[in-house]
Amino acid sequence: MLKQIQKKPNMNMLIFKCLQMALLLVFTSRYTIAEKTQHPKRTYIIHMDKFNMPTSFNDHLQWYDSSLKSVSESAEMLYTYKHVAHGFSTRLTTQEAELLTKQPGILSVIPEVRYELHTTRTPEFLGLEKTTTLLVSYGKQSEVIVGVIDTGVWPELKSFDDTKLGPVPSSWKGECETGKNFNSSNCNKKLVGARFFAKGYEAAFGPIDETAESKSPRDDDGHGSHTSTTAAGSAVAGASLFGFASGTSKGMATQARVATYKACWLGGCFTSDIVAGIDKAIEDGVNILSMSIGGNLMDYYEDTVAMGTFAAMEHGILVSSSAGNGGPSQATLANVAPWITTVGAGTLDRDFPAYITLGNGKRYNGVSLYDGKLPPDSPLPLVYAANVSQDSSGNLCTTDSLIPSKVSGKIVICDRGGNPRVEKSLVVKLAGGIGMILANNQDYGEELVADSYLLPAGALGEKASNEVKKYVFSAPNPTAKIVFGGTELGVQPSPVVAAFSSRGPNTLTPKILKPDLIAPGVNILAGWTGKVGPTGLSVDTRHVSFNIISGTSMSCPHVSGLSALLKGAHPEWTPAAIRSALMTTSYRTYKDGQTIKDVATGTPATPFDYGAGHVDPVAALDPGLVYDASVDDYLSFLCALKYTSFQIKLVARREFTCDKRIKYRVEDLNYPSFAVPFDTASGIRGGSQKTSTVQYKRVLTNVGTPSTYKVSVSSQSPLVKIMVEPQTLSFKELYEKKGYTVTFTSHSMPSGTTSFAHLEWSDGKHKVTSPIAFSWT
Ligand SMILES: *[C@@H]1O[C@H](CO)[C@@H](O)[C@H](O)[C@H]1NC(C)=O
Ligand SMILES: *[C@@H]1O[C@H](CO)[C@@H](O)[C@H](O)[C@H]1NC(C)=O
């Protein structure tokens, strides 16, 4: 999601309106259209019924073309899809789209939607140094290919150096596509493939302005270079951003290969391009797909990306996606399909301090990546932006909102939110200010995100911000001084859940807990584009090879790279097995036993914030047992959602009829976590029975040596009785499967109540731990 994490109420409203429109415009053969007026053309993704091609056609392309021509003489196919859908995308008017739905063999005509991009010490923080010896004995990591759907790459980065790598895996079928500022010599044994997908984008916005962005895999934004080098960049000694976070920069899987699929452009990413990227990635032979992008939630059979990732999962590809930057509000998740690994964000133990001292002598600790000329060493006049602006949103330091005569020579306090944080520093600078304090409100709490501001500036948490403002409003001549402290390591507590990290519960499928886990996503150093400076602002002419940015966009590729490590160590594991290993071995407490905190509140976080916990790759290499899941399990899941055969065909591109004799249940999907929503009303039957009982079934697969596991349950709350049957599971062989049942008996609780517990299988050596999240609705 956006690299500059911002709340954008107006933008959200806009997206919401677009989504409402999009939902209205989804025509499947079950929907009729209310709107009859002429609309301009837009892009639709058309799913055809593979198994019911009229016999009058010899080939599918001919069939597609004929169906299309029957509603529009002029329409041309943008893409034809092979794996993610059986079908194509094209531009149509509303009427044409409606007509097309009525043609024989058309399953659905879905309007495309726009997605947004949701950033070296990480390996040490994760304990990856310890895995070196473990991994040498396996050594298949270099066979693993991580596909990244993003803004492309900057191939000249040292992070793509391939000198220590062997030949490209023979299974690789991808290509290095040529385009503006990019040709086949930009790929090598590290960057093994690079493609771009611009047809949907150009159909919507017109031809790409090649003076602004390259119509090629080249990254003009920075986001894609950052995510791909985080996942699998080579080690680069002496990396830093202006000396901040200096050290060796390396991806999670330094020997894995990278293939970039550029589907995101300066104006966003369109689903017709995204799924074209997924389609090619499947064909090319990637093993892991990293997608730090997201849109709004919609039913899986209307969500083209959910369908595309289902196809990827079928091909054994693990798809890792960002959970979104909608936190700390509840129920803000993106990418919740159970065949996707959904990653939230936590902090590292690293900080970039900026000390702000007020005229009253009080000092506050903030953060900053400012690296320019230092401000005068004397206290400077301090003003609050709202007091030196005529604009109603002047407190946010929006463009042109400050009155230069009232700002000149002063430090300005700007509230966080609205426009990008670094843009605020530019607005202050242009108005003649010589410093900025970025003030958190309650939305951001104590979360500090460091930025490479364009003038001396520091970010403060909510408490300090309130005190600084109180001082400005009361002192006759308020002043402040900003001093910068470089890079600080060993900051505790860490990790804490980032305020921006999107939170559960999962509103689309409440019985599946999301996010799945968290990984580092705050102030992450990784590779950057040569096209724009670290702030991404056009006035920022600085050039850097590494940048420090934040978001669930940055935590997602950590998990993608770690999945590549696991895939290299255990090539036979399914995507579900890899995810299970990452989840059941993740941790939820600090060394002192305290639960990981939520920086937004300062209180202990819950599984709705961190899922199974914070990733621990060393433990994940040897999980003991995994909760595996196959395509059949996901088909049963779709049956449990009461999807019709028609809807299942849309998601899974196959004829599948749910067996009427089977009682399919979402709670039986073999997931490594438990989300248990209780209906407040259903617990009270006839006024007498005040408890409600639900059962969840799970199956464990042994991926270790023969062993006997015993179950234990830690409940932090007396609200629910948890019973597991059987209590002991003995595994004699590798890949042996054993099932168990958990029974949850709850008292009726007021709506809105939540409670949490953990269930753990242990043989004394391994701990296979699952979070349980109860909620009463
Ligand atoms: C690729 O581009 C570079 C730089 O423009 C050029 O030197 C090189 O010859 C090109 N290689 C190919 C294979 O076209
Ligand atoms: C500055 O703004 C604050 C908050 O909007 C307000 O309470 C205060 O009175 C203002 N001070 C001046 C001098 O206008």
What is residue 716's predicted lDDT score, i.e. its pLDDT? 57
Q: Per-residue pLDDT for 366 more than 90?
A: yes
Pocket of ligand 2, candidates 396, 441, 473: which has the most ligand atoms within 8 Å of its Cβ, to mutate? Answer: 473
Phi, psi of 212 (to 5 degrees): -100, -35
Neighbours of 404 (CB within 10 A): 12
Task: Quote the CA–CA distance of 675 and 438 in Å, as a whole number.
Answer: 38
Atom 5 in ligand 1: residue holding the nearest Cα? 181
**Does residue 475's CB lie within 6 angstroms of at least one atom of ligand 2?**
no
Cβ neighbours of residue 249 closer than 8 Å, sequence gap 6 or more: 120, 159, 229, 233, 235, 236, 239, 525, 526, 527, 546
**Does residue 469's CB lie within 6 angstroms of at least one atom of ligand 2?**
no
| Ligand 1 atom with the shortest distance to the CA of 178 | 14
In this structure, the chain runs to a length of: 777
What is residue 50's predicted lDDT score, i.e. its pLDDT? 85
Q: Per-residue pLDDT for 731 more than 60?
A: yes
Report whether 454 contacts 540 (CB < 8 A). Answer: yes
Distance 181 CA to ligand 1 centre (A): 9
Q: Per-residue pLDDT for 722 more than 80?
A: yes
Q: What is the mean pLDDT of residues 61-77?
A: 92
Q: Which ligand lies nearest to the CA atom of residue 475 in the structure? A: 2
The domain locations on the chain are 42-111, 128-349+495-620, 353-486, 670-776
Q: What is the mean pLDDT of residues 329-351?
A: 95
Among 90, 112, 117, smallest CA distance to 21 is for 112
Distance 466 CA to ligand 2 centre (A): 13
Write out pLDDT tens, residues 485-504: 999 998 889 999 999 999 99
What is residue 14's predicted lDDT score, i.e. its pLDDT? 35
Atom 5 in ligand 2: residue holding the nearest Cα? 386
Q: Which ligand lies nearest to the CA atom of residue 384 in the structure? A: 2
pLDDT: which is higher, 460 or 11? 460
What is residue 139's predicted lDDT score, i.e. its pLDDT? 60
Q: What is the mean pLDDT of residues 358-374?
A: 94
Among 590, 541, 581, 589, smallest CA distance to 563 is for 581
What is residue 20's predicted lDDT score, i.e. its pLDDT? 35
Q: What is the mean pLDDT of residues 453-465?
A: 96
Distance 186 CA to ligand 1 centre (A): 8
**Under CATH, what is the fold of the domain 353-486?**
Glucose Oxidase; domain 1 (3.50.30)
| Ligand 1 atom with the shortest distance to the CA of 183 | 1
**Does residue 386's CB lie within 6 angstroms of at least one atom of ligand 2?**
yes
Lowest mean pLDDT among 12-21, 223-232, 434-443, 571-580: 12-21
What is residue 748's predicted lDDT score, i.e. its pLDDT? 84
Distance 387 CA to ligand 2 centre (A): 6
Q: Per-residue pLDDT for 25 more than 50?
A: no
Write out pLDDT tens, residues 681-717: 654 444 445 788 999 999 999 999 999 999 999 875 6
Q: Which residue has the tokens 């109603």?
A: 392
**Does residue 10's CB lie within 6 angstroms of at least one atom of ligand 1?**
no
Distance 173 CA to ligand 1 centre (A): 22
Atom 7 in ligand 2: residue holding the nearest Cα? 473
**Does residue 183's CB lie within 6 angstroms of at least one atom of ligand 1?**
yes
Q: Which ligand lies nearest to the CA atom of residue 186 in the structure? A: 1
Q: Is 223 a catalytic residue?
A: yes
- Of 3.40.50.200, 3.40.640.10, 3.90.1170.50, 3.30.980.10, which CATH number belongs to 128-349+495-620? 3.40.50.200
Q: Per-residue pLDDT for 119 more than 60?
A: no
Atom 9 in ligand 1: residue holding the nearest Cα? 185
- Is the backbone peptide bond immediately before 515 cis, with ω within 30 degrees of 0? yes
Among 153, 2, 120, 148, smallest CA distance to 530 is for 153
Of 86, 223, 226, 558, the catalytic one is 223
Of 150, 219, 303, 415, the catalytic one is 150
pLDDT: which is higher, 24 or 258? 258
Pocket of ligand 1, candidates 185, 186, 191: which has the most ligand atoms within 8 Å of its Cβ, to mutate? Answer: 185
Confidence category of residue 43, pLDDT binned at 50, 70, 90: very high
Write out pLDDT tens, residues 261-279: 999 999 899 999 999 999 9
Q: What is the mean pLDDT of residues 121-137?
A: 50
Distance 563 CA to ligand 1 centre (A): 34
Confidence category of residue 123, pLDDT binned at 50, 70, 90: very low
**Does residue 181's CB lie within 6 angstroms of at least one atom of ligand 1?**
no
Distance 286 CA to ligand 2 centre (A): 57
**Does residue 32's CB lie within 6 angstroms of at least one atom of ligand 1?**
no
Write out pLDDT tens, residues 384-431: 999 999 899 999 999 999 999 999 999 999 999 888 899 999 999 999
| Ligand 1 atom with the shortest distance to the CA of 184 | 13
**Does residue 178's CB lie within 6 angstroms of at least one atom of ligand 1?**
no
Q: Per-residue pLDDT for 32 more than 70?
A: no
What is residue 425's predicted lDDT score, i.e. its pLDDT? 95
Report whether 772 contacts 722 (CB < 8 A). Answer: yes
Of 553, 563, 580, 748, the catalytic one is 553
Task: Quote the CA–CA distance of 445 and 704 in Å, as a whole number.
Answer: 43
Q: What CATH number should be reported for the domain whose range is 670-776? A: 2.60.40.2310
Distance 275 CA to ligand 1 centre (A): 30
**Does residue 16's CB lie within 6 angstroms of at least one atom of ligand 2?**
no
Q: Is 272 a catalytic residue?
A: no
Write out pLDDT tens, residues 183-202: 999 999 999 999 999 999 99
CA atoms within 13 A on the CB side of 581: 27
Lowest mean pLDDT among 369-378, 432-441, 606-615, 695-704: 369-378
What is residue 213's predicted lDDT score, i.e. its pLDDT? 95
Q: Which ligand lies nearest to the CA atom of residue 187 in the structure? A: 1
Q: Is the pTM of this model over 0.85?
A: yes
What is residue 777's predicted lDDT score, i.e. its pLDDT? 86
| Ligand 1 atom with the shortest distance to the CA of 186 | 1
- Is the backbone peptide bond immediately before 726 cis, with ω within 30 degrees of 0? yes
Among 55, 22, 3, 520, smallest CA distance to 251 is for 520
Q: Is 391 a catalytic residue?
A: no
Confidence category of residue 642, pLDDT binned at 50, 70, 90: very high
Atom 2 in ligand 2: residue holding the nearest Cα? 387
Q: Which ligand lies nearest to the CA atom of residue 181 in the structure? A: 1
Atom 7 in ligand 1: residue holding the nearest Cα? 185
Among 153, 126, 242, 257, smallest CA distance to 527 is for 153
Q: Per-residue pLDDT for 12 more than 60?
A: no
Q: What is the mean pLDDT of residues 589-617?
A: 95
Q: What is the mean pLDDT of residues 98-116?
A: 93
Q: Per-residue pLDDT for 729 more than 70?
A: yes
Q: Per-residue pLDDT for 13 more than 60?
A: no
Distance 185 CA to ligand 1 centre (A): 6
Cβ neighbours of residue 239 closer than 8 Å, sequence gap 6 or more: 120, 245, 246, 247, 248, 249, 525, 545, 546
**Does residue 389's CB lie within 6 angstroms of at least one atom of ligand 2?**
no
Write out pLDDT tens, residues 280-307: 999 999 999 999 999 999 999 999 999 9
What is residue 492's predicted lDDT score, i.e. its pLDDT? 87
Task: Quote the CA–CA distance of 680 and 690 in Å, as a whole number.
Answer: 10
Atom 1 in ligand 2: residue holding the nearest Cα? 387
Q: Which ligand lies nearest to the CA atom of residue 395 in the structure? A: 2
Q: Which CATH class is domain 42-111?
A: alpha beta
Pocket of ligand 1, candidates 177, 183, 186: which has the most ligand atoms within 8 Å of its Cβ, to mutate? Answer: 183
Q: Per-residue pLDDT for 16 more than 50?
A: no
Confidence category of residue 2, pLDDT binned at 50, 70, 90: very low
Atom 8 in ligand 1: residue holding the nearest Cα? 185
